[in-house]
Every structure is written in C-alpha cells, then in structure tokens.
C-alpha cells in the first residue's frame, strides 16, 4: 500500500507515528540515507518485498527531468500496478505550506535547513510554485480517481491530534494496536526529522 503525498507534506513524520504505534516498518520507493539514519530502517528495504506496511511515494511530484514526461497513462499504471493495486494512504497538506516547504527543501537540500524568505528570487519561486501546485493537485486527483482503496489523512489534523489520527488510520487498515506502544508514542510524537 502506498503512502502518497506531495513532498514536504509530513510523510516521514506520519511514517514515524505509524511505526511507533504499530511496531511495523514502513518503506519507500526511494532511498534517502538521512531518513534511514534517523531510524526508519524500512527505508533500505525493497518497497515491493512485502516487509513494510506502507511505501512512501510522491507519485511524480519530485521535480526531476524524467518525471516531466510521465503521462496520465503512466500515472494510472503507477497507481494500479501490482505493487499498490490502487491502495494508498493519501496525506494532504495545505498547498501553500507544502509548496513553500518543498521550495525550502529544494533550496537548502536538507530536511531541517531554512532559507531566508526575504531573499527568495520572485521569478524562480513563481515558476516553482506554478509547477508545484499542478503536481500537488495531480497527486490528490489521481489517487482519488484511479485508486481503489484510499484512506485520506490531512496534515493539519495530524498536527492537532497526532495520536488520534494515527490510531484511527491503523484501525482502518485492520491493525491491532498495543496500548503500551500508543502510550509511549504520546510522550514522543515529533520524531527526529
């Protein structure tokens, strides 16, 4: 099952909460050494080997040359392939916040660094934001239209009520929760990244 989101929408944090509450690793269709080194050991697993509960994906929202040419046909096939079969947790964050955070990430190349917002080149940001809002909308629309089992989580709800949101999600996914794990997670809701 995919854990689909636009970049910088809280995917890694939700993975942390899920792993803490469920005691099961989550994976990724990518490999990010920084995420692996922060304790997400499922990051190093092959996302299709069945050893992880959810697999992080940003669909085609990562800004790379190759993703420019990914057609609707590619996007539908990606969602419905034999690895995801249209199944996903779709994490949605306010587009303004997600896009600004992604621009910050692209500019600093770090998960925690920050740019000085007073010095953002306007033309550069305008081009970035235009492409980003298209991709933000596309990932949501694609999964809702072409997915077969999609569980929606809103980042802002996760911020306000992390334990309630993750326990509700895990119950929807049919997992038994260990109350001791959930109690521990209440004390450590933020993670490392």
Could you tell me the residue ranges of all domains in the chain? 2-187
This prediction has a pTM of: 0.88
Directed axis angle between helix 95-108 and helix 122-146, to 10°? 120
Token code pair at residue 50: 């069945």
At the topology level of CATH, where does 2-187 sit?
Rossmann fold (3.40.50)
Question: pLDDT tens track of the chain, all 193 residues?
Answer: 999 999 999 999 999 999 999 999 999 888 878 878 887 888 888 878 888 999 999 987 776 666 667 788 988 998 998 779 999 999 999 999 999 888 888 777 666 677 766 667 778 889 889 989 999 999 999 999 999 999 999 999 999 999 999 999 999 999 988 889 999 889 888 876 5
CA distance 167 to 169: 5
114 contacts 167 by C-beta, under 8 angstroms:
no
């Amino acid at each position: 099952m995919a854990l689909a989101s636009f970049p910088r929408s809280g995917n890694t944090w939700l993975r942390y909460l899920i792993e803490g509450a469920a005691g099961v690793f989550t994976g990724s269709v990518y490999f990010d050494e920084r995420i692996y080194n922060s304790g997400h050991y499922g990051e190093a697993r092959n996302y299709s080997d069945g050893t992880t509960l959810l697999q992080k994906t940003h669909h085609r929202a990562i800004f790379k040359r190759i993703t420019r040419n990914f057609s609707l046909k590619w996007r539908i096939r990606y969602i419905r392939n034999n690895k995801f079969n249209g199944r996903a947790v779709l994490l949605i964050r306010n587009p303004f916040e997600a896009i600004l955070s992604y621009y910050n990430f692209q500019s600093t190349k770090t998960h925690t660094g920050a740019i000085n917002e007073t010095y953002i080149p306007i033309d550069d940001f305008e081009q970035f934001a235009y492409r980003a809002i298209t991709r933000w909308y596309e990932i949501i629309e694609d999964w809702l239209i072409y997915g077969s089992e999609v569980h929606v989580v809103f980042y802002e709800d996760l911020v306000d009520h992390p334990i309630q949101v993750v326990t509700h999600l895990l119950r929807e996914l049919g997992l038994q929760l260990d109350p001791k794990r959930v109690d521990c997670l209440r004390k450590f809701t933020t993670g490392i990244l």
